[in-house]
Amino acid sequence: MTVGARSRERARPEVQAAGTPSRRPGRAWQGEWIRWLVPLLVVLGWQLAASTGLLNPRVLPAPSAVITAAWELARSGELGRHFLISLQRAGLGILIGGGLGFTFGILTGTFRAANLLLDTTFQMIRTIPNLALIPLVILWFGIGESGKVFLIALATFFPVYLNTLHGVTGIDPRLTEMARVYGLSPLDTFRRVTLPGALPGVLVGVRYALGISWLALVVSESFGASSGIGFLAMDAREFFRTDVIVLAIVIYALIGKAADALVRTLERRLLPWQVSA
Amino acid sequence: MSAAPVLTGPLTATGVPIELRDLSAAYGERVILQDLTLSIAAGERVALVGASGGGKTTLLRALAGLTSTQGTLRIGTGAPVRTRVMFQEDRLLPWLGALDNVALGLPRPDRFRAARALRDVGLAGRERAYPHELSGGQRQRVALARALAHRPDLLLLDEPFGALDALTRADMHALLDTLLTDTGATTLLITHDLEEALKLTDRVLLLADGQIREDLTVALPHPRRRTDVEDLRAHLERLLH
């Protein structure tokens, strides 16, 4: 039966993402290139200033010198080794911190008793700066891997925890009421309503966590480390190798950008229903 | 004597009788329903009209098991009752396509009814569309399909077309009238629109200050035109003002 199904009802045009100006068909490539224009101009200006002697290489080496240092370190296998160790530390820290943040965020968001019991404690721990914990972490874990992973896990726990908690509590209560009326069990309501409803928040948390994990990595590799990108930079400082120090900074920037792109891809895949996705 | 013909299509259901005796409800100090007594026969189509704050939504929520009340509230004859609500807002899950929204809560063997219900509301071909890709009227159609796919014994409609424009509303009236004729569910429609109440249902209850002030039977054949219910509407309007 299709009574009343008339053509006057048309699908609402998709709302454009806020802050994304409209593009003319066939000229989209210009928008993509323009993102890289400023970094490219900065590098060119930097190279020019270094080549003409305006910049002291002891203060800031030329981009070409940084590329040469990267090539030499890559050829010797040193860069790959340090990079992989840093990646491993960050990955493990995010996995533990993010996993616990997600689990506790769901628990405190779903169960009032868990919220009353845990949230105040978490909020108090959240305000402690990571750097203040270093002496205690060294005492607890020594200067091995555990302390470094602990610091990264602690730093990544909070963004995932807070955003998961807000994701769960921000779900429209009318939807959970609807689920109840339509006979969904509490487990089904969690699976079909709570979890997908909280997912945008969780992914915002993951994005913050990825960003902050590199910050925690720099902190953790600045004490008692004998490997990792942070160690590479600290070691280079001893020998006035500004080219390697800048290389480490560039690697951090590139990894940060790659992590952001990874989360954006995840968002596109997992949240196809979001108008602005 | 042979039994009366029974609609056996996938979306038909058996309505249930409703018995309310001295039903009261309050939010804190404020009394919403006061000693309400009412009988609704199985399969009856009833509208609840009245000014805002008169207790319409509270009564609907009480029937849906969403609000606690004092007094007697008996739905059905003892067997489990499938009660489904179509709310004023569509309440579709934004992360599910139209078909998955309709199939929500349906047992696996009954999922086929979701596609049938979507077709019945004129949305065949839009099964995969997300709610944000549909117009307001289309989203309410999906919500209606979701309610009907469950073959409810009791169908509760809480101002389901309140947010729609006049043209879409007229479309939905025609659609709902046909679908309600096909299904045997006991139906309770809450509306501010007296014409809507008189065109779609066979009994209109005027609720004021938590009590039924008027119980009007509409013994006219379906579908009804605006002119068919003009006199009854004027009568109800006089009572309302």
The answer to whether residue B163 sits within a structural domain is yes
Maximum Cα interatomic distance, chain B, rounded to a whole number of Å: 55
How many helices and strands in chain B, by DSSP H and E?
Answer: 7, 9
Q: Please indicate whether, in this complex, the C-beta atoms of A184 and B178 are within 8 angstroms of each other.
A: no
Within 8 A of A12 by CB-CB distance, chain B residues are 132-136
Answer whether residue A82 shows pLDDT above 60: yes
In this complex, which of A1, A9, A182 lies closest to B120 when CB atoms are compared?
A1
Alpha-carbon distance of B143 to B121, in angstroms, equals 10
Distance CA A79, CA A69 (A): 10
Evaluate whether A85 touches A227 at the Cβ level (below 8 Å).
yes
For chain B, how many structural domains are there in total? 2
Task: Look up residue B208 and give its amino acid.
Answer: A
Q: Does A9 contact B135 at a Cβ distance shorter than 8 Å?
A: yes
User: To the nearest whole angstrom, how far is the Cα of A165 from the nearest Cα of chain B?
Assistant: 19
Mention every residue, 6+ apart, whose C-beta is less than 8 A from residue B166.
none
B216 domain residue, yes or no? yes
What mean pLDDT comes out for the span A220-242? 84
At A188-221, the pLDDT tens digits run 999 999 999 999 999 999 999 998 898 888 888 8
> Which residues of chain B fall short of a pLDDT of 50?
1-10
> What is the tens place of the pLDDT at every residue in A102-153?
999 999 999 999 999 999 999 988 888 877 888 888 888 877 888 889 989 9
The pLDDT value given to residue B6: 38
Please report the domains of chain A, with CATH numbers, ordered by start residue.
62-270 (1.10.3720.10)
Q: Inter-chain contact B122–A178, Cβ cutoff 8 Å?
A: no
* CB-CB neighbors (< 8 A) of A180 in chain B: 66
What are the structure tokens assigned to A213, written together? 């994990």
pLDDT for position A28: 55
For A183, which residue in chain B has the nearest alpha carbon?
Answer: B105
Q: Which residue matches tokens 């009856």?
A: B44
Determine the Cα–Cα distance for residues A252 and A215; give it in Å rounded to an integer. Answer: 9
- Our CA-based measurement puts residue A105 at a distance from the nearest CA of chain B, in whole angstroms, of 21
Q: Is the pLDDT of residue A7 over 60?
A: no
Instruction: Quickly state the pLDDT bin for A180 (edges 50, 70, 90).
Output: very high
Instruction: Answer whether A168's CB lies under 8 Å from A110's CB.
Output: yes
Give the residue ranges of DSSP H helices in chain A. Answer: 28-51, 63-76, 78-110, 112-126, 130-141, 145-169, 173-181, 186-189, 195-220, 229-238, 242-270
Q: In the numeric block, which tokens belong to residue A196?
A: 């997908």
Same domain, B236 and B158: yes
Q: Which residue has the higher pLDDT, A82 or A18?
A: A82
Point out the residue among B105, B129, B138 whose CB comes nearest to the CB of A182: B105
ipTM: 0.85
Q: What is the pLDDT of residue A26?
A: 52
Residue numbers of the domain that contains B55: 18-82+153-240
**Nearest Cα to Cα of residue B144 among B129, B166, B122:** B122
pLDDT of residue A5: 39
Judged by CB atoms closer than 8 Å, whether chains meet at A4 and B85 is answered as: no
Last residue of a domain, one of B150, B166, B185: B150
Mean model confidence pLDDT for chain A: 84
**Chain B residues with beta carbon closer than 8 angstroms to that of A197:** 93, 95
Mean pLDDT of A247-254: 89
Nearest-Cα residue of chain A relative to residue B175: A3
Check whether residue B73 and residue B179 sit in a common domain. Answer: yes
- Predicted confidence (pLDDT) at residue A249 exceeds the cutoff of 70: yes
Rg from Cα positions in chain A: 24
For residue B79, the model assigns a pLDDT of 85
**pLDDT in the model for residue B5:** 36
Residue A101's pLDDT is: 96
Residue B9 lies in a domain: no
* Any domain includes B4: no
- For residues B131 and B192, membership in a common domain is answered with no
Mutate to test the interface with B, among A273, A274, A275 (most CBs of B within 10 A): A273
pLDDT recorded at residue B87: 92
What pLDDT sits at residue A1? 37
Tell me the chain A residues in contact with residue B96 when contact means C-beta distances shorter than 8 Å: 192, 273
B213 assigned to some structural domain: yes
The 8-class DSSP code of residue B133 comes to: G
Q: At what angle do helices B136-149 and B112-120 cross, to 10 degrees?
A: 140
Can you give the pLDDT at residue A275? 58
Helical axes A112-126 vs A78-110, angle rounded to 10°: 140
Cβ contact A184:A192 at 8 Å: yes
The residue to which tokens 């108008």 are assigned = A275
Beta bridge partners of B211: B208
**pLDDT of A16:** 38
What is the Cα–Cα distance from A217 to A156, expressed in whole angstroms? 11
Residue A277 pLDDT? 39
Please tell me the predicted confidence (pLDDT) of residue B11.
Answer: 53
Does residue B11 fall inside a structural domain? no
Same domain, B235 and B116: no
pLDDT number for residue A232: 87
Residues B34 and B144 in one domain: no
**What are the residues of chain A with a beta carbon less than 8 Å away from any beta carbon of chain B?**
1-6, 8-12, 14-15, 174-175, 177-184, 188, 192-193, 196-197, 199, 271-275
In angstroms and rounded to an integer, the radius of gyration of the C-alpha atoms of chain B is 18
Phi, psi (5° rounding) for residue B21? Answer: -135, 125
Q: How far is B241 from chain A (nearest CA, A)?
A: 33
First CA to last CA across chain A, in angstroms? 35
CATH of the domain at B198: 3.40.50.300
3-state secondary structure of B190: strand
**Phi, psi dihedral angles at B55 (to 5 degrees):** 105, 5
